[in-house]
């Protein structure tokens, strides 16, 4: 595997048509109900142009649904989402979402990237650089279904980056990976963030949130209980719910 520390992949070198910036994100009074039952309510959120935001909170708090709303995959029952003047649906094309379980094409590793590059009208020559970037260059011709969990997730991340997203969403993307795989994914995410990709990740991994996040949105019972700088959140959480969550106590 190539060293993830020496990265030659420089997508910003490719000339692009100027596009309006998707940030800042402005969310107002967002609510989501299923059959009259509210699963998210009164969500207000402002995110600035740079960095990595971690969304944390107990199981069932509404983290994945919030991510899907922000990405425009589902529509809210109430309220609005504004990405630099655009709706979530309009902004979706310049965003990418990586789930806990990567869904890969039943083709070669390289074909998974090639497919996205073609769909996005980007140079297919980028495929090698992307695979090298995530340490999969040696496995380019191998069927993607033979990859290990950590390798498959790196391919999913490379595929997300192949779209050259302005915003990268991660929903527990490292939840079932070993510590070394987690760190290699974090290296790729940190690098993307340093190149200006806005990262919003859901994670239960407190160590990961400490390593990656600039700020933390803490959800409980479908509401934002706390939104603070990561340093403050981990050193002095403001709510009992967040304190209990960080201490491993059940919060519902």
Q: Among 31, 51, 60, 149, which residue sits at the site for ligand ATP (rule: CB under 6 A)?
A: 60
> Which of the listed partners (ligand ATP, Mg ion, none) does 65 bind, with a CB threshold of 5 to 8 Å by partner kind?
ligand ATP
Q: What would you report as the CA-atom Rg of the chain, rounded to the nearest whole angstrom?
A: 18
Distance CA 110, CA 113 (A): 5
Closest-by-Cβ residue to Mg ion is: 64
Contacts 24+ apart (CB under 8 A), 134-138: 134/4, 134/158, 134/184, 134/188, 135/1, 135/2, 135/3, 135/4, 135/184, 136/1, 136/109, 137/2, 138/1
Q: Among 3, 6, 16, 59, which residue sits at the site for ligand ATP (rule: CB under 6 A)?
A: 59
At a CB cut-off of 8 Å and minimum separation 6, what does 12 contact?
Answer: 195, 196
> Which of the listed partners (ligand ATP, Mg ion, none) does 34 bind, with a CB threshold of 5 to 8 Å by partner kind?
ligand ATP
Distance CA 154, CA 2 (A): 13
Cβ proximity to Mg ion, 64 vs 142, nearer residue = 64
Please count the CA atoms within 13 angstroms of the CA of 110 that sit on its side-chain side. Answer: 13
Q: Among 62, 150, 165, 237, which residue sits at the site for ligand ATP (rule: CB under 6 A)?
A: 62
Cβ proximity to ligand ATP, 61 vs 113, nearer residue = 61
Cβ proximity to ligand ATP, 164 vs 171, nearer residue = 171
Q: Among 7, 23, 39, 105, which residue sits at the site for ligand ATP (rule: CB under 6 A)?
A: 39
Return residues touching ligand ATP (CB under 6 A). 34, 39, 57, 59-65
């Amino acid at each position: 595997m190539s060293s993830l520390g020496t990265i030659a992949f420089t997508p910003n070198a490719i000339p692009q048509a100027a596009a309006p910036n998707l940030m800042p994100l402005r969310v107002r009074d967002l609510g989501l109900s299923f059959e009259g039952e509210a699963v998210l309510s009164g969500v207000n959120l402002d995110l600035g142009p740079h960095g990595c935001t971690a969304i944390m909170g107990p199981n069932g708090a509404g983290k994945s649904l919030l991510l899907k709303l922000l990405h425009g995959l589902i529509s809210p029952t109430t309220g609005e989402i504004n990405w630099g003047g655009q709706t979530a649906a309009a902004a979706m094309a310049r965003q990418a979402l990586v789930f806990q379980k990567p869904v890969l094409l039943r083709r070669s590793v390289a074909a998974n990237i090639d497919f996205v590059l073609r769909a996005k009208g980007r140079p297919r020559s980028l495929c090698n650089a992307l695979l090298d970037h995530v340490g999969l260059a040696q496995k380019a011709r191998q069927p993607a279904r033979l990859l290990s969990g950590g390798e498959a997730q790196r391919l999913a991340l490379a595929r997300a980056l192949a779209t050259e997203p302005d915003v990268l969403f991660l929903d527990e993307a490292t939840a079932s990976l070993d510590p070394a795989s987690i760190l290699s994914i974090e290296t790729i995410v940190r690098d993307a963030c340093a190149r200006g990709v806005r990262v919003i990740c859901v994670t239960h991994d407190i160590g990961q949130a400490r390593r990656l996040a600039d700020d933390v949105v803490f959800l409980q019972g479908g509401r934002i209980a706390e939104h603070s700088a990561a340093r403050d959140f981990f050193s002095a959480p403001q709510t009992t719910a967040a304190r209990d969550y960080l201490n491993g106590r059940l919060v519902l």
